[in-house]
Structure 1
Amino acid sequence: MSTSTRRLATAEDTHVLVAESLGLAHLARAVGDPPRAQAIWEGLVARATANPGDSAAFLDLATLLIATGDREKGLEVQAAAVADHQLYRRAAARTPTLRLLAFTTLGDFTANAPLDFLLEDSGVELINWYVDGPPSPGAAPEHDVAFLAIGESAEAEPLLQRLEGALAAWPRPVLNARPGLIAGMTRDGVADRFVGHPAVFCPTVRRVGRETVQALAHGTRPLADVAQGLNFPVILRPVGTHAGHGMAKLSSPAEIGAYLAEHMAAEYYVTAFHDYSGADGLFRKLRVVFIQGRPFLAHMAVSENWMVHYLNARMDESEAKRAEEAAMMASFDDGFAARHAEAFKALCETYPLDYFGIDCAETADGRLVVFEADVAMIVHAMDPADVYPYKKPAMRRLFEAFVDCLHQAGGVPTA
């Protein structure tokens, strides 16, 4: 076992070994400083070479691999580390005020709620427990509050279903303890929940097999047969993808055929395209997170392209776009959130979770467009302050609200 392992006592006074990890936020920040990242990499390799049982070194190497784009190798190393050891502690940045035990699963940065980012620079000690089934309280390290961090995905669905009801008798408070509800936050599941809603608009989404998409491409099956009112153009993407990977707007059966030739998958999401551009022709997409029902703006991207992601919107290259985002962050509570209070209320009633997020926009007639809802959307404060000076105060409010939520749940006063 690694020498970087700390011994903690459970409530039953048994002993649990928790490996010491550098953590996602620390390593993600290092990636932006190549010499620093290289030094960390070399140090971790030296540790792993000297002690093949140093599972924490391997887990941190896996995180660096994923963060630098080698996802496949990173997931392979991560799985090997977790097979050896399931508990990893990231120390608090300040004097510890609370111990949070997070139930997590294998995967990249979209697999679990971004707790390490949310808790950055806080007094919360984070312990990630990679579970493959219902956890046993007797095997848990000492903690004040627990959190079900696993997000919706096809890979996680069986695990979430096995966890249903398993956390009800946990000896400490557990936040987000609704695994079955989380498992149902699929793109089509969310859309189906809000069909015909007066304040929330979700474009029609259907999950279909490759044979069905091939029939659409051949013209042997009409779009209306997949979902009532579905017409060209449509958006097609493989199930399980994120950040626009494999996502395309298609306007004819021939375009679907060409798409299928390049994107092999067993299942796809077919989504009705809705033009949510503003009067100036630009598309605006917001990421909003809810902390015990209270909305916070994590970012707003402004783009010339209908497929909006913060990186491809080139926000760093446009002072005008950043000024618009800054204004949205400054006015969010009294502006956007107030306008969509009814929609936000409906979302939180539908998904009564302590924490989750949505990607959304506005329709021309004033409704809230919801593209996706999940607990694992990336939220961070790593954008450079010299380019985005307005972000730090906004993200601090969000992070402090999350930390306060944990302290309240655990009955532990803040520092």
Structure 2
Amino acid sequence: MPLIDQTLPALSDTLVPPIVRGTADLTSFAYQGNDHDALMQRIETSTAPNPALARQAAQTYDAAIALQLGFRRAEGLNLQDTALDASPLWRVGGAPQGAPRDALRLLALVGPGDLMTNTPLDFLTNHLNVRLDLLYLLPDRPLPASIPDHDAAFFALGEADPATLARLRRLFAAWPRPVLNDPSFLPALERDTLSRSLAGIASIASPTAVATSRAALQAHLDTGCPIQGFDTPTGPYPCLIRPIGSHAGAGLSRVTNPAELANYLRFCFDRQFFLTAFHDYQGADGLYRKSRVGFIDRQPFLCHMAISQHWMVHYLNADMTESAAKRAEEAAAMAEFDHGFARRHQAAFAALHERLGFDFYSIDCAETPDGRLLVFEADAAAIIHLMDPPNLFPYKQPQMRKVFAAFEAMLRRRAAAPRAAAA
């Protein structure tokens, strides 16, 4: 183990980190229509039992989240740096359900970054009898001398550069408590890597995806030369283009000819991109359907299904709240999932698990007209939540409670297993 982590932290039964509201609490509050001022008031009036200095640090940590929720990402990340200078350890507030002595103690190893950097575990644990502590791994800084003792540790970074990945692997192997989500599989989530690994599997439609540069795209436009590695039966168009490192559709566009590609590059200033062959998955009724399937110990759960007239489907832009018919279809999909969708794609799921050995991850996917599973992406840090208003989405309450219960059951199984079996 390198000098930076030569000594693992001591485990303390008495150490209490600053208590924060956290990402799930503040995101849910914003999702209900509350603005930045209301978020700040919620943070400032927190009743968490923090001492004075810890209270100030906790408010700084939560304010960094609030700024990002208000689309002030740079300010939020700067404030996050200030909070992490004060402490690398945080406890997500909210009393666990049930008797506190029965609460499972979960430590999540996370990294600095925006709201999509880490698995947002508090969207699950806030509904469970689980105490969640967050330990930030800060570049070029050792772990703290002492951390709260815990029943299990969850490696929650959704992506990592080579140096961070090597550090995560060493910590995963040496950690003194049972561990979940082996970070060794993180490179397999990259769009181009995942596309190549799934190519040729009969049950899966895996559109060709490559990482490329602005220079390579410009050379293609100037000379007509092929884009290296982007070999598709129909040529390079139509294709999807997005900046490497972007999430949630940011910078994503469909281009159908060189002129559209040139126009995209004219207004996008990134240097590195992913290109993905566009696979038309429009249904016979003209609508597009995209599902988020979460896997907990390889068991699949439908977490949402969005239905849209546009090929770029996101739950928030699919007008699900405005359409009773769409909600009824989603409710039926959830009710029938175990005996329908999951059974139809059992072979595809098994192929995914062979390549992605995480304990907890999700995919965004659809069904092709010929019955294959169309995999858009796999993610260890996607949000799985219960934020939708129950008056409009009553069917989500039992479905997501089932997901949360499965997650807690997995944690308790892993916590009870010997360390050697958990690694």
Task: Flag whether TM exceeds 0.5 (same fold).
Answer: yes
Distance in 2 (CA, whole Å) between partners of 1:324 and 1:32 is 23
Residue 140 (str. 1) matches residue 147 (str. 2): yes
Aligned-partner residue type, residue 406 of structure 2? A
Match of 1:180 in 2: 184
Is residue 343 of structure 2 the alignment partner of residue 338 of structure 1? yes
| Structure 1 residue 42 corresponds to structure 2 residue 41 | yes
Which residue in the other structure is 2:241 paired with? 236
- Identify the residue that residue 365 of structure 2 maps to in structure 1: 360
- Change in CA separation of 1:40 and 1:205 when aligned onto 2, cut-off 3 Å: closer
Which residue of the partner structure matches residue 189 of structure 1? 193
In structure 2, what is the equivalent of residue 77 of structure 1? 79
Give me the TM-score of the superposition, normalised by structure 1: 0.90
Is 1:123–2:129 an aligned residue pair?
yes
Residues 225 and 219 of structure 1: is their aligned pair in 2 closer, same or farther, counting only changes over 3 Å?
farther
Equivalence for 1:114: 120
Match of 2:276 among 268, 271, 274: 271
Deviates more, 1:26-35 or 1:122-131: 26-35
Between 16-25 and 348-357, report the one with greater CA deviation.
16-25
The offset of 1:257, in angstroms, is 0.6
Change (3 A) 1:34 1:362: closer
Among candidates 370, 374, 392, match of residue 397 of structure 2: 392
Note the C-alpha offset of 1:108: 2.0
Is contact 1:137–1:170 with CA below 8 Å preserved after alignment?
no
Give the one of 84, 93, 96 matched to 2:96.
93
Deviates more, 1:350-359 or 1:21-30: 21-30
Q: 1:31 Cα shift?
A: 1.6
Q: 1:90 to 1:245 in 2, by over 3 A?
A: same
Post-superposition CA distance 1:72-105 (Å, at most 9, x none): 2111111221122100001343233111000001
Distance 1:327 1:278 in 2: 17
User: 2:301 matched to 1:299?
Assistant: no
CA distance change for structure 1 residues 270 and 32 in 2, over 3 Å: closer, same or farther? Answer: closer
Indicate conservation of the 8 Å contact 1:381/1:395, yes or no. Answer: yes
2:420 is matched with none
Partner amino acid for 1:365? D
- Total equivalences in the alignment: 399
Counterpart secondary structure, 2:105 = strand
Code of the aligned partner of 1:93: P
Label 1:40 to 1:319 Cα distance change in 2 as closer, same or farther (>3 A): closer
1:327-385 per-position Cα deviation (integer Å, ceiling 9, x unaligned): 00000000000000000111112111110110001111111011101110111100001
Cα 1:55–1:390 shift into 2, 3 Å? same
Q: Percent identity?
A: 42
> Structure 2 CA distance, aligned partners of 1:100 and 1:68?
29
1:198 aligns with 2:197: no
1:334 to 1:44, Cα distance in 2 relative to 1, 3 A: closer
Matching residue's letter, 1:323: A
Separation in 1, partners of 2:162, 2:82: 21
**How far, CA to CA, are the matches of 2:279 and 2:206 in structure 1?**
9
2:108 to 92, 102, 107: 102
Residues in 1 aligned to 2:330 and 2:222: alpha-carbon distance in whole angstroms: 43
Aligned to 2:3: none
Between stretches 220-229 and 305-314, larger displacement belongs to 220-229
CA contact (8 A) 1:358 1:372 kept: yes
* Counterpart for residue 4 of structure 2: none
Residues 80 and 336 (structure 1), Cα distance of their counterparts in 2 relative to 1, 3 Å cut? same
User: Partners in 1 of 2:144 and 2:26 — Cα distance?
Assistant: 30
Give the structure 1 partner of residue 226 of structure 2.
222
Matched, 1:25 2:28: no
Deviation at 1:68, TM superposition (A): 2.4
Question: C-alpha distance in 1, partners of 2:228/2:121?
Answer: 41
Query: Which residue identity does 1:216 align to in structure 2?
Result: H
Letter in 2 for 1:24: T
Distance 1:382 1:256, change over 3 A: same
Letter in 2 for 1:220: G
Q: Which amino acid aligns with 2:346?
A: A
CA contact (8 A) 2:21 2:43 kept: no
Structure 2: runs of 5 or more not aligned: 1-8, 418-423
- TM normalised by structure 2 equals 0.88
CA distance in 2, matches of 1:228, 1:52: 56
Unaligned regions of 5+ residues in structure 1, if any?
A: 1-9
Shift of 1:216: 2.4
3-state SS of paired residue (2:210): strand
Structure-2 separation of matches of 1:224 and 1:365:
29
- Cα offsets for 1:280-319 (capped at 9, x unmatched): 1111110001001000111001111111111111111111
TM-align CA RMSD: 2.5
Give the SS at the match of 1:258.
helix
